């Protein structure tokens, strides 16, 4: 949680909504958040809550069956309204993404060097020699030894952790100002996870990059992020600094998530302590989508969607019974 932090937003997402199936299925529902320069924002929630679709919508990488609306303000412009040529300059250039599945995101039939070089060709003026030198530098930066040899190898010749490093090297080739990292360590064992997260934080410091880190692991958020936004059924239900939210969750879902985080000194575990599962998109309950699983639910929760209300700058919550949630105390 160290490193540069300012309040000036570089990314300003406003009322982002993503639907599938001719607007019938809403995967991302009126989501707004900002990311400051050099800041790491954690986007947290169980599987299916809309985290990946949110990240993809920011850079318009949703399938053709999807429709994205709202505003994504980046360097004074709305990415959602940009022409394709402009968008290509931003995507993979100023804003890079690391995907959840490194193997499917890498091209299996191209050597790693070619894949890094494609990004360098698209987003820098470097000549052939410059690109080779930069590719070696990137491999060093992400901690892959013996760069000259390994650049000629194919993705399947790398271990899971090393492949994720390759993905990061490709993402960083253009010196992005913003890195969108979608569960970059979920497939990796805990030691490698820690190394990759440390690498992302080091690079954030070195390159003054901002990061949106998607994860379902509150332990990762605590170790890595400055601020966090909790998502449930496509909506943001709580935001704040990591220390504020951990000290006093105001939303019953956040409280449930925190209750599933093991205490200091024990192993990380998955989010198992909230009964039930998030609803599929065609069965989102009326009112607060969390109400069937919520021990604090009242009639109002079953009738009306609770609005996201600001408690202080950067701190917001969407829960009708936050007084009861607060009175119940932090489970951590």
Ligand X SMILES: Nc1ncnc2c1ncn2[C@@H]1O[C@H](COP(=O)(O)OP(=O)(O)O)[C@@H](O)[C@H]1O
Residues that bind Mg ion (CB under 5 A): 52
Please report how close the Cβ of residue 284 comes to ligand SF4 at its closest, in angstroms: 13
Please report how close the Cβ of residue 202 comes to ligand X at its closest, in angstroms: 26
Please report how close the Cβ of residue 145 comes to ligand SF4 at its closest, in angstroms: 49
Kindly tell me which residue out of 131, 230, 296, 316 binds ligand SF4, with binding defined by CB under 6 A.
296
- C-alpha to C-alpha distance for 220 and 182, rounded to whole angstroms: 13
Please report how close the Cβ of residue 50 comes to ligand X at its closest, in angstroms: 4
Q: Is residue 235 a contact residue for ligand X (CB under 6 A)?
A: no
- C-alpha to C-alpha distance for 68 and 135, rounded to whole angstroms: 35
Burial code (b: 16+ CB inside 10 Å, e: under 16) for 235-253 equals bbbbbbbbebbbebbbbbb
- C-alpha to C-alpha distance for 111 and 154, rounded to whole angstroms: 4
Please report how close the Cβ of residue 234 comes to ligand SF4 at its closest, in angstroms: 14
Please report how close the Cβ of residue 115 comes to ligand X at its closest, in angstroms: 24
Go through the chain and tell me how many residues it has. Answer: 332
In this complex, which beta carbon is closest to ligand SF4, that of residue 158 or of residue 296?
A: 296
Segment contacting ligand X by CB under 6 A, of 62-70, 148-156, 250-258, 265-273: 62-70
Q: What are phi and psi of 207, to 5 degrees?
A: -105, 5
Kindly tell me which residue out of 2, 63, 108, 312 binds ligand X, with binding defined by CB under 6 A.
63
Region 214-273 residues binding ligand SF4, contact defined as CB under 6 A: 251-253
Q: Is residue 277 a contact residue for ligand X (CB under 6 A)?
A: no
Segment contacting ligand SF4 by CB under 6 A, of 3-11, 39-47, 136-144, 313-321: 313-321
In this complex, which beta carbon is closest to ligand SF4, that of residue 187 or of residue 328?
A: 328
Kindly tell me which residue out of 34, 52, 96, 224 binds ligand X, with binding defined by CB under 6 A.
52
- C-alpha to C-alpha distance for 53 and 127, rounded to whole angstroms: 36
Q: Is residue 20 a contact residue for ligand X (CB under 6 A)?
A: yes
Kindly tell me which residue out of 29, 38, 42, 51 binds ligand X, with binding defined by CB under 6 A.
51
Kindly tell me which residue out of 11, 53, 106, 242 binds ligand X, with binding defined by CB under 6 A.
53
63 contact, one of ligand SF4, Mg ion, ligand X, none, CB 5-8 Å limit per kind? ligand X
Q: Which long-range contacts (CB under 8 A, 24 or more apart) does 270-274 make?
A: 270/216, 270/217, 271/46, 271/216, 271/218, 274/46
Binding site for ligand X (CB under 6 A): 20, 25, 27, 45, 47-53, 63, 65-66, 280-281
Binding site for ligand SF4 (CB under 6 A): 251-253, 288, 290-291, 294, 296-297, 301, 306, 319-321
């Amino acid at each position: 949680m160290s490193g540069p932090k300012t309040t000036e937003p570089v990314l300003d997402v406003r009322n982002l909504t993503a639907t599938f199936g001719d607007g019938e299925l809403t995967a991302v529902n009126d989501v707004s958040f900002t990311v400051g320069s050099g800041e790491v924002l954690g986007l947290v929630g169980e599987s299916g809550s809309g985290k990946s679709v949110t990240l993809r919508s920011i850079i318009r990488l949703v399938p053709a069956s999807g429709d994205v609306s709202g505003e994504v303000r980046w360097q004074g412009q709305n990415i959602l309204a940009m022409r394709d040529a402009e968008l290509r300059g931003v995507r993979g250039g100023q804003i890079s993404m690391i995907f959840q599945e490194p193997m499917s995101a890498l091209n299996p039939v191209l050597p790693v060097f070619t894949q890094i070089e494609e990004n360098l060709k698209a987003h820098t003026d470097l000549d052939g020699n410059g690109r080779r030198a930069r590719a070696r530098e990137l491999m060093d930066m992400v901690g892959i030894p013996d760069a000259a040899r390994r650049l000629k190898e194919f993705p399947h010749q790398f271990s899971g952790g090393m492949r994720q490093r390759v993905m990061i090297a490709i993402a960083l080739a253009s010196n992005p100002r913003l890195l969108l990292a979608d569960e970059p360590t979920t497939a990796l064992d805990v030691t490698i996870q820690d190394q990759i997260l440390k690498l992302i934080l080091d690079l954030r410091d070195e390159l003054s990059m901002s990061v949106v880190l998607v994860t379902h692991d509150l332990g990762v958020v605590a170790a890595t992020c400055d601020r966090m936004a909790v998502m449930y059924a496509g909506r943001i239900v709580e935001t704040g600094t990591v220390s504020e939210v951990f000290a006093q969750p105001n939303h019953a879902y956040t409280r449930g998530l925190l209750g599933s985080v093991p205490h200091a000194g024990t192993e990380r575990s998955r989010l198992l302590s909230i009964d039930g599962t998030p609803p599929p998109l065609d069965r989102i309950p009326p009112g607060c989508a969390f109400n069937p699983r919520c021990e604090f639910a009242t009639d109002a929760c079953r009738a009306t969607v609770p609005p996201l209300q600001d408690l202080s700058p950067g701190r917001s919550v969407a829960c009708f019974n936050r007084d009861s949630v607060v009175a119940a105390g932090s489970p951590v």
